[in-house]
């Protein structure tokens, strides 16, 4: 499918039925797979043959959908996970272990920040957080001898900061480590980070890729370009024998194109088991088929609402990367030429109290712990998704106490604007 444009890949990528075969991806709702000989199964366990033996590691339905996402991102291999959190954990833990260090953007999803700064810290992995708009020198200064990766988000959730992908990738490569980027909000329709130098791309497929709020999931895509052997001393897990898996050397057996995903599957998925179910993968594929159509409307609605909010007297501030005058406008124009997403962050005059009144007065837009859906929704991150963060951490993440994150769905933009207008008027009375 590499010769086709992304719209065609959304619809037909990953799965090509043969004569008389199902037109839609089949759901392989089975935990196990039958073989005629133990020898054949042994070859699968030794990774000497391709196939399936237990769905905790791999499942045909999941692999077909992963292949579509790999095609959309321009990668060489991909895997599905149970959630976006699992995807980010696997992506980092696949290269960083106890005693290692990772550089990450400070403006990342609160759950990811907590995963890095608290949970993975307990595992002995240290993180240094830098501003997404830091200079090249400031980014380089965060590195240590034991740094194993750099992590960022294309469009940060909920601060909506846009990371300079080329800069982060360039500094990462200068220090001999991969750049891992969460591309959830942009999706490959709006931005393909691999084309700008990223090595590993992650997704919470729960968001725009699903697009209908029916299935939690995640994905990891490998660009297949990072030379692990060129930095063998940094990545022994990929360049030396894995004693837990028959002494296999992943970078040797599967090369740049397949080593990362194979290790994450054979080692991490084996031990942690954060699989995406075949049923959820099927739902995800249905969402992917319309992703290119939906993202256009999401971006249009996002920009329309952002412009309205920027002109409303009851709004203290607005953040949207493609709103003229936004801090990230120039970098967003570079990486998001076809539009951003449907998420807008803003503050209601009067602080948290007025913000809560505003949200309670909404009629179309629902209060949900969700984002990037066909239906519009909103959230107050400081009291919900990011409530585990300190005031200092909230500030570093670009989250103020009055911040409201609104996710514009596929409804009529004028109806959404009218709903927001009446809620603002109600809130300030």
Residue-wise pLDDT for 152-182, tens only, equals: 999 998 889 999 999 999 999 999 999 999 9
Q: For residue range 81-137, what is the model confidence (pLDDT) as tens digits?
A: 999 999 999 999 999 999 999 999 999 998 899 999 999 999 999 999 999 999 999
Q: Which of these, 221, 424, 392, lies nearest to 314 by C-alpha position?
A: 424
Cβ atoms 238, 251 nearer than 8 A: yes
What residue ranges define each of the domains in the chain, with the CATH number in brackets?
Answer: 6-286 (3.40.640.10), 292-428 (3.90.1150.10)
Q: Which of 138, 133, 176 is nearest to 153 (CA)?
A: 133
Residues 50, 149, 102: CA angle, nearest 5 degrees: 130
Q: How many CB atoms lie within 10 A of CB 353?
A: 11
**What would the pLDDT profile of 329-360 be if each residue is shown by its tens digit?**
999 999 999 999 999 999 999 887 888 899 99
Please tell me the distance from the alpha carbon of residue 295 to that of residue 348, in angstroms, as a whole number: 27
List pLDDT tens digits, range 51-78: 898 899 899 999 999 999 999 999 999 9
pLDDT confidence band for 384 (50 / 70 / 90): low
The predicted model scores a pTM of 0.95
- pLDDT confidence of residue 393: 77
Which phi and psi (to 5°) does residue 332 adopt? Answer: -70, -40
Spatial contact of 185 and 208, defined as CB atoms under 8 Å apart: yes
């Amino acid at each position: 499918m590499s010769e086709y444009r992304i719209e065609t890949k959304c619809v037909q990528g990953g799965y090509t039925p043969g004569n008389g075969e199902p037109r839609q991806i089949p759901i392989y709702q089975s935990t196990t797979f039958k073989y005629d000989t133990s020898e054949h199964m042994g070859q699968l366990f030794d990774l000497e043959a391709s196939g399936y033996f237990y769905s905790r590691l791999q499942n045909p339905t999941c692999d077909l959908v992963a292949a579509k996402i790999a095609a959309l991102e321009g990668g060489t291999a991909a895997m599905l996970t149970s959630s976006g959190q699992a995807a980010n954990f696997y992506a980092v833990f696949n290269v960083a272990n106890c005693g290692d260090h990772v550089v990450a953007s400070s403006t990342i999803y609160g759950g990811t920040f907590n995963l890095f700064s608290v949970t993975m810290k307990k595992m002995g992995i240290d993180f240094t957080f830098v501003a997404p708009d830091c200079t090249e020198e400031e980014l380089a200064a965060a590195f240590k001898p034991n740094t194993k990766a750099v992590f960022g988000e294309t469009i940060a959730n909920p601060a909506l900061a846009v990371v300079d992908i080329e800069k982060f990738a360039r500094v990462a490569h200068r220090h001999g480590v991969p750049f891992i980027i969460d591309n959830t909000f942009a999706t490959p329709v709006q931005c393909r980070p691999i084309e700008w130098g990223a090595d590993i791309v992650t997704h919470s497929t729960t968001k725009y890729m699903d697009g209908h709020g029916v299935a939690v999931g995640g994905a990891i895509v490998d660009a297949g370009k990072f030379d692990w052997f060129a930095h063998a001393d940094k990545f022994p897990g990929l360049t030396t024998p894995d004693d837990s898996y028959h002494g296999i050397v992943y970078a040797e057996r599967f090369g740049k194109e397949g080593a990362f995903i194979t290790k994450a599957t054979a080692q991490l998925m084996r031990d942690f088991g954060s699989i995406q179910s075949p049923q959820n993968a099927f739902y995800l594929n249905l969402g992917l088929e319309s992703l290119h159509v939906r993202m256009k409307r999401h971006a249009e609605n996002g920009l329309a609402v952002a412009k309205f909010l920027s002109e409303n007297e009851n709004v203290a501030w607005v953040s949207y990367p493609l709103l003229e005058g936004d801090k990230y406008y120039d970098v967003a124009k570079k990486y998001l030429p076809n539009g951003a997403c449907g998420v807008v962050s803003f503050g209601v005059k009067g602080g948290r109290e007025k913000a809560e009144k505003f949200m309670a007065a909404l009629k179309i837009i629902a209060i949900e712990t969700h984002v990037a859906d066909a239906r519009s929704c909103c959230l107050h991150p400081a009291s919900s998704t990011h409530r585990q963060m300190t005031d200092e951490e909230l500030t570093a993440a670009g989250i103020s106490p009055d911040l409201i994150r609104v996710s514009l769905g596929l409804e009529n933009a004028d109806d959404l604007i009218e709903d927001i207008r009446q809620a603002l008027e109600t809130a300030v009375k």
